[in-house]
Amino acid sequence: MNRLRRLVLSAPVALAFLAGGAQAQELSLAELSAYFNGLSSAQGDFTQINSDGTISTGKIYIKRPGRIRFEYNPPEEALVVAGGGSLAIFDPRSNTGPDRYPLSQTPLNIILRRDVDLARAEMVTDHSSDGTTTTITAQDPEHPEYGSIRLVFTANPVELRQWVIDDGTGTETTVILGGFDTTSPVRDILFNIINEERLWAQNR
């Protein structure tokens, strides 16, 4: 499985060290749920740590519910788009078009669903704080086989800083966020997989 598929299905090991800052209390599951439910759209830069030790960078766009887009910088030049209940992985090394998966079967669905309720029974399997960040590990309680997502937050204000996706096989992928812009508009067309398939075919 290549590193693009690991981003959403399996996943690179993880370490983003968020140093400094004032001591903060552990954020509650209600506070973290409210953060996601209040996040309608966002965009920013990301850094991905891959399981082979390489690093990828790019731009991320989110429009809840159910939509996310990762644009990878050269030399990667890959694209991952979720919209309409599907997630598509566009790999420039492939000549067969994007690989598609149901978004509901990926850990990203946990934070992209319309109503995030992290307090739901057996959804959060770990919840801790180191005094600077709050970390939770969440899974679909009805389908733990879909994998889990470990989320790292800072407080004052609450902000998602990192996630680690794990498919349960010991392989992880880390995405470190460079800070979200939540005020600039995010166009719906960015999450149209059919449109991206057309553009991808034109540019190959």
On whether the CB atoms of residues 101 and 8 are closer than 8 A, the answer is yes
Residue 192 is predicted with a pLDDT of 98
The predicted-structure confidence for 106-163, as pLDDT tens digits, reads as follows 999 999 999 999 999 899 999 999 999 999 999 999 999 999 999 999 999 999 999 9
Place of tokens 């590193």: 3
Pair of tokens at residue 139: 């899974």
β-pair partners for 44: 60
- Specify the number of domains making up the chain: 1
Residue 53 is predicted with a pLDDT of 81
- CATH number, domain at 181? 2.50.20.10
Range of the domain at 176: 3-203
d(CA 154, CA 152): 7
Q: Which residues of 48-78 are buried (b: 16+ CB within 10 A; e: fewer)?
A: bbbbeeeebebebbbbbebbbbbbbeeebeb
Q: Which of 64, 63, 57, 65 is nearest to 7 (CA)?
A: 57
pLDDT band at 166 (very low <50, low <70, confident <90, very high): confident
Residue 24 is predicted with a pLDDT of 64
Q: Which of 187, 164, 189 is nearest to 177 (CA)?
A: 164
